[in-house]
Structures are given as structure tokens and as C-alpha cells.
Structure 1
């Protein structure tokens, strides 16, 4: 049974370890947008039973990696999208399975794509400027398609590693088999 875990359990330490390991992986060289960020948000939403932990731990891990990588103009928009992904992850509580995680991952990535690229166009980032009209918005989305592909692949791979790894570990370690609800 896949259920969220309570604070101060062995599961909590392992969950935090998974999130931090994935966040550290963001610092390694990788293809553009092939990151664990969306998968970490979904994972946090699915497994941290306390709402504050579900948001704080994935967003905190993202912030820690951003401290190293640097801040950027659209950071508030990105963090808001990641918070929305945590909410999507919460719909997986007690229902973690390949299909559900895949659908949640797809929804999360598409939501991120639509919102962040709209923000790039709306706020006219000086590095990537598109005309303030429908054509400019379309150009912005078309220019971002290669990043969407990488983000979809990254989210899929990292979701398999996080969700699959944690569920495998739960089946291997007796102390983790105990299901706990919030």
C-alpha cells in the first residue's frame, strides 16, 4: 500500500535523502531541462504526509541548488510552478503506480511549460524577446519545444528513479513496509 509517511519515521529520513540526492544531481552536467525538479516535486507531494514538508523539502532542495547555480529573473514563476507540481503529487497519495505517476508527470511538465513560457513572453526577458502579440507568444512556445522534450524525458527518468527506487526499498526493508497515514 502506498501511503504518505509521518514525520520522524525511518521513511522520512529516506525520503529526504532521495530528495537531496536528486537535488544534488541537478548540479551535475546535463542536457537543458533534463533535471529531477518536477519528479522531486511530485515525489514530495506523494510521500510527505505533512503539507509543510511536502512543499518545504522539495522547494528547499531547489533553492539549495539554485544558490549554487545562481538566481534568475523568472524564479518566482518557476517556484510557483513547482509548488503546483507538489499539489499534483498530492493526488498520488495512496495511489502511486506507473500510470498515475506518468499522468501526473505529464500534467506537471505541461503545466510548467505553459506557465513559464507564457511568463518569458509576458515579462519580455531581455535575453529571449518575442513580440508582444499572438505571433510572439506562438514563437516563444515553438522556441521552447526542445526544452519540453528534455523536461519530459528528465521527469520520466527521475520519476522512475525516485518513485521506483523508494517503492523497491519499501519492499526490501521490513521497517519501511509499515504503512502510515497522515
Structure 2
């Protein structure tokens, strides 16, 4: 039998990612943006892509595309440059989170979701905070400077953790509910 070109599972997964991405793009428009900085859906999108897309291109490309497009939009709205110092460390951290989703969430449940979230956010913290070491006069490029950067990043990383849990609960919960109602979405080969 030949595979159908119409793939409802992939389309629904992508629609969930797009819906949650709109919230990330809208966040800088909020007057409380500084207080909610890093309370974003990017970590949840990375874990979601890793958990549900069997195709590695889709699993890694969709979260990275969301990150690139939302970073461009946020840079335009906020006035910050897109290529901020060490930006690629943030992208490496998101790739690591997709890998965590692929490796740890072969079976999606609350336990694997929470474990993947904590490990993914921890990797995001230690990898993305290498970036500020490359910004002039923020932190010295030493182990002590990196340690200070990690300490100063804790409030932002906690927001990232909270955002990953909240958005992840919505995304994973929505798709699992859809799978329960429409069993054909459970087909592993469909994504």
C-alpha cells in the first residue's frame, strides 16, 4: 500500500505548535513583558516536536523554525538585534531539548513529560547561558564568570521552566485528548 499524502497527524501537530507559537510572538506586546520574560512556549514546542514527530527533519525543523521566526519578530518589536551575542548557544539548547523529547518520551505520560521537562530545562540553562560570556562587559570569559551568569539566570530559567510546564501541559494534553478521541492519530508511522 502506498502512503497517503494527506497526513492528519502531522497537520494537527503543526497546528498545535502554530497556535502556541502565536502566544510567544504576542508576549513582547504585553506591558508586563519584562516580568514574564522567558515564560515562553519554546521549550514545550521543542519537547513536543521531539516526542511526537517520528521524522527527525520535522522534529527538529518545526521547533527551530518557530524559534527563528519568533526571534526575528521579537527583535523587530523590541529593537534588540536578532544576532545577539552567543545566540547560537540558545539554538543549540533548543536542539538538545528536542533530542530529550525524542529520547525520553517514547511513551508520553505525566512522568516522562515532567522528567523530560526538568532535564530539558536544565540543559537549556547550562547551554544557553554560555552565550552571555560572548557579550562584551557582561561576564568575564572565565569559569567564575560563567558561574555568576548561571546564578543570575535562575529567575529567567525558572520562568522558562514554568512556561515549559504550562504550555507543555496544554500541548501534550490537547494532543493526547485528540488521540483518545481519534485513535488514527496514534499511528506511529503517520508523523
TM-score w.r.t. structure 1 length?
Answer: 0.86
Q: Which residue of 2 aligns with 1:140?
A: 149
Q: Which residue of 2 aligns with 1:72?
A: 83
1:106 paired with 2:118, answer yes
Is the Cα–Cα contact under 8 Å of residues 129 and 150 in structure 2 kept in the other structure?
Answer: yes
From 7, 10, 13, give the equivalent of 1:9: 7
Q: How many residues align?
A: 173
Cα distance between partner residues in 1 of 2:140 and 2:65: 35
Q: The residue matched to 2:26 in structure 1 has which SS? A: coil
Gap regions ≥5 residues in structure 2 = 28-32, 76-81
Q: Which residue of 1 aligns with 2:167?
A: 158
Is the Cα–Cα contact under 8 Å of residues 18 and 162 in structure 1 kept in the other structure?
Answer: yes
Alpha-carbon offset, residue 174 of structure 1: 4.8
TM-score w.r.t. structure 2 length?
Answer: 0.82
From 32, 40, 44, give the equivalent of 1:39: 44
Cα distance between partner residues in 1 of 2:160 and 2:25: 16
Q: Which residue of 2 aligns with 1:131?
A: 140
1:180 paired with 2:185, answer no
Alpha-carbon offset, residue 19 of structure 1: 0.9
From 76, 85, 91, give the equivalent of 2:97: 85
Q: Which residue of 2 aligns with 1:54?
A: 59
Cα distance between partner residues in 2 of 1:47 and 1:180: 8
Cα distance between partner residues in 1 of 2:104 and 2:141: 38
Alpha-carbon offset, residue 93 of structure 1: 4.6
